[in-house]
Amino acid sequence: MGMQWEGKSFIDNLPKIYGVYTGGFLAFFALMAILEQMGVGADMIGILFVGFTIVIYAFIGVLSRTMAVDAYYVAGRSVPPVFNGMATAADWMSGASFVAMAGGIFMAGHGYMAFIVGWTGGYILVATLMAPYLRKFGCYTVPDFVGTRYGGKLARFCAIVVLIVASFTYVTAQITATGTIAARALQIPFEAGVWFGLAGILVCSMLGGMRAVTWTQVAQYIVLIVAYLIPIFWMSIAQGFGPFPQLAYGGAVERIMELEPVIGVGTKAVEAVPGLGVLTTLHATPKEGAIAAWQFVTLVACMMIGTASLPHILMRYFTTPSVRDARTSVAWSLFFIFLLYFSAPALATFSKLQMIDPTLPTAIIGKSIDEVMALNWIQKWGAIGLLAVKDGNADGILQINEFFLNPDIIVLATPEMAGLPYVISGLVAAGGMAAAMSTADGLLLAMANALSHDLYYKIIDPKAETKKRLLTARILLVVIGAAGALVASMKLTGILGAVAWAFCFAMSGLFFPLVLGVWWKRANRPGAIAGMVGGLGVGWWYLLAVRNPKEWYGLAEPWLGLNDLRFGIVGIVASLVCMVVVTLLTAAPDEETQRMVDEVRIPRGDTIIGAKA
């Protein structure tokens, strides 16, 4: 059965165990620094860092292997709140948060702050509307809640469909992040890197399910937060802004605003590079007007409501020992997430200053293109197609509009941009891999569990043996993961774009069936089905319409400025209207169901349903 990681002695010793783990990782980091000083090449250090972290996570997965249903699906419901908060934060700190968010701010500035505001605010909705009540209900998965609360196989099946659509869209973004990291660290094509990252993801989640993923995610959070913060503190001190970068980067903003009018743009237009963006004004005054404010607010709303609708996040609160611990876990989650989100704008600011400030030795704008092209980090990222330089003005001097890069590499390339020892780059690569892997683990598990528990066991074969159910879940993990890697290798959209779509899919189909399932006891099965089908269907149509305006189903222009990143607003309105109207036109749930909903709203005491294994 594997090591009893849910036992009381293990739980009591968690601080000591993860203290030793952290010390061991820092010792490995020191060893890599020594090897770099001894002349070991950067490529080898990158390989060792990524390889070591994947081996550690795989080792935890092997130790946590289980054939017990309760441990596989909900980690035995024995995870203390602080560690569940840490695991949830790792689950949440996806490739979008770690790899892409600072890059979005770096490239486009103010508008991308909506992701930070929305993702953080979403946990307020989780704490107040969802987590304690879903834990009180006592199910394994989100479709399990929908199927039990509303009754009937069709409602459960609709919830499974929404979960798969949202989670699969999300997991492709995480596999894209692992592919980007593996491609740079191992100097292999991106298309091969996605499969390398997938292999590490599967080992962690396939053997031990939620238990393995939980303890792995705690370890991953430690790596990712250390990796994210070290370059920020290093750049802040080196640039003269002191040891508190999150509070002091306003000075760096002022310096950038001074430099931007001076460095200017080349006199000739430069042809764009497909898939890459050109540096823009980071701290220009945000667009004025009601439409700009509306777009910011609607993107925040999509990220907030999407957060409270994501099945892999809500699953985390099924693992706590009690209903009260579920609410405490949300508070810890917010704290651990805050540590990274509070730092992302500082990282974007200091990174840009490193590139454009002529008083810093690492600046490249305004330098000779030959000199810039000789830099190791320019060559390495350029070799895998994620960075490009064009001498559009034919003057041999690099202008802002001649430097193209993929925003997803900003965090990963920052240590090299800043001239830090390569061991820091290896550390950041390991942190980015941890962030993407932890979220991918949770997403793959959410999808596999929904299909094996809710579709196979609850709908297709209710008499299936435990061994057969868990084997089915593990096979599905491999199949779904392979499909995600295949889609990621096609580069259909960037990391942040795929994540925004996933949030919009989740909120379109699940938010109101979940919220009204707790807070409106009149809500019934036909209404929930109508809400899921109508919301997901309308949302999906609108996404296709704004992405393909020339097709027969297209729109001449988005409604009220709601582009493809905001289609969840249209979907959730359709979901609410469909659910309320159909509910009021059909019979109310029976008295037993309504009494059950009343009991669910009391966020304390024992679970009222219990998941039947």
Which tens digits make up the pLDDT trace of 403-421? Answer: 888 877 888 888 888 888 8
Query: In this predicted structure, what is the pLDDT of residue 287?
Result: 53
The per-residue pLDDT for range 139-151, each reduced to its tens digit, is 667 888 888 889 8
Q: Which residues contact 343 (CB under 8 A, 6 or more apart)?
A: 228, 229, 232, 245, 246
Residues of the chain above pLDDT 70, percent: 82
Within-domain flag for 384: no
Query: In this predicted structure, what is the pLDDT of residue 316?
Result: 65
pLDDT band for 554, please (50, 70, 90 cuts): low
Within-domain flag for 553: no
What does the pLDDT average to over 435-464?
Answer: 76
Within-domain flag for 432: yes
- Distance linking the first and last C-alpha atoms of the chain: 17
What does the pLDDT average to over 5-9?
Answer: 51
Within-domain flag for 561: no
Query: In this predicted structure, what is the pLDDT of residue 398?
Result: 84
Most confident of 390-394, 453-457, 486-490: 486-490
Q: Which of 82-86, 229-233, 242-246, 372-376 has the lowest mean pLDDT?
A: 82-86
pLDDT band for 270, please (50, 70, 90 cuts): low
State CA 276 to chain mean position distance.
Answer: 22
CATH number at residue 243: 1.20.1730.10
SS3 assignment, position 454: helix
Q: Which of 72-86, 182-196, 310-324, 442-456 has the lowest mean pLDDT?
A: 72-86
What SS3 string covers 333-379? HHHHHHHHHCCHHHHHHHHHHHHHCCCCCCCCCCCEHHHHHCCHHHH
Q: Which of 9-13, 66-70, 398-402, 527-531 has the lowest mean pLDDT?
A: 66-70
Residues of the chain above pLDDT 90, percent: 14
Within-domain flag for 526: no
Q: Which of 168-177, 194-203, 340-349 has the lowest mean pLDDT?
A: 194-203
What is this structure's pTM? 0.79
The per-residue pLDDT for range 220-238, each reduced to its tens digit, is 788 888 888 888 998 999 8
Q: Which of 74-78, 327-331, 356-360 has the lowest mean pLDDT?
A: 74-78
Residue 269 parent element (H or E): none
Q: With 60 as the cut, is the pLDDT of residue 545 above it? A: yes
Q: Is the dihedral of CA 136, 210, 183, 347 positive or negative?
A: positive
- Report how many domains make up the chain: 1
pLDDT band for 127, please (50, 70, 90 cuts): confident
What does the pLDDT average to over 156-178?
Answer: 87
Structure-model confidence comparison of residues 461 and 550, the more confident one = 461
Q: Exposure string (b/e) for 497-518, b if CB count within 10 Å is 16 or more?
A: bbbbbbbbbbbbbbbbbbbbbb
Within-domain flag for 545: no
Half-sphere exposure at residue 549, Cβ-oriented, CA atoms within 13 angstroms: 8
What does the pLDDT average to over 149-166?
Answer: 90
Radius of gyration over alpha carbons of the chain, in Å?
24
Structural domain for 357, as ranges: 8-257+281-364+411-498
Structure-model confidence comparison of residues 230 and 474, the more confident one = 230
Most confident of 97-101, 376-380, 447-451: 376-380
Task: Report the distance separating Cα 198 and Cα 203, nearest Å.
Answer: 9
DSSP state of 397: B
What does the pLDDT average to over 365-372?
Answer: 87
Q: Are 426 and 171 in contact (CB under 8 A)?
A: no
Query: In this predicted structure, what is the pLDDT of residue 605?
Result: 61
Which residues lie across from 387 on neighbouring strands?
405
Task: Report the distance separating Cα 442 and Cα 189, nearest Å.
Answer: 26
Structure-model confidence comparison of residues 146 and 60, the more confident one = 146
Mean of pLDDT over the chain: 79
Within-domain flag for 338: yes
Query: In this predicted structure, what is the pLDDT of residue 10?
Result: 58
Task: Report the distance separating Cα 385 and Cα 401, nearest Å.
Answer: 18
SS3 assignment, position 140: coil
Q: Which residues contact 506 (CB under 8 A, 6 or more apart)?
A: 162, 166, 306, 309, 310, 311, 568
State CA 550 to chain mean position distance.
Answer: 32
Within-domain flag for 569: no
State CA 464 to chain mean position distance.
Answer: 34
- CA-closest candidate to residue 307, choices 91, 575, 87: 91
pLDDT band for 199, please (50, 70, 90 cuts): confident
Residue 331 parent element (H or E): helix 323-341
Q: With 50 as the cut, is the pLDDT of residue 126 above it? A: yes
Q: Which of 5-14, 102-111, 422-431 has the lowest mean pLDDT?
A: 5-14
pLDDT band for 5, please (50, 70, 90 cuts): very low
